[in-house]
Amino acid sequence: MEKLIAKSSILFESHIYAPGDELPRHDAAMEKAWLDAGTAIVKPDETAKAPEKVEPTDSGAKAETEEEKPKKAKTTKTKAAKE
């Protein structure tokens, strides 16, 4: 749903709305007046976005961090093995 946002200070029903505040939309005549005067704008509701698609991982396997990876034993070749 779209939001009606104040562009300047607006006094409405004993409440002062500052620039950036969401205005009430229950009074269609006032909504039209604010939009016509340029004191309010309509913005899409950022919180109403559809959830992002999450790509599945390989068979649900847990990714290993460097700390969790098994330590590989260092092998050193002896002089005899190199020859």
Query: pLDDT digit string (tens) for 14-67?
Result: 999 999 999 999 999 999 999 999 999 999 887 766 566 666 666 555 555 556
Give the residue extent of every domain in the chain.
Answer: 2-47
pLDDT of residue 40: 97
DSSP state of 59: G
Q: What is the pTM for the complete model shown?
A: 0.55
The Cα-based distances of 43 to 1, 2, 46, 48 in angstroms read 9, 6, 9, 12
Query: In sequence order, what are the beta bridge partners of 41?
Result: 5
Q: CB atoms < 10 A from the CB of 21, how many? A: 15
Q: How far apart are CA 38 and CA 75, in angstroms?
A: 75
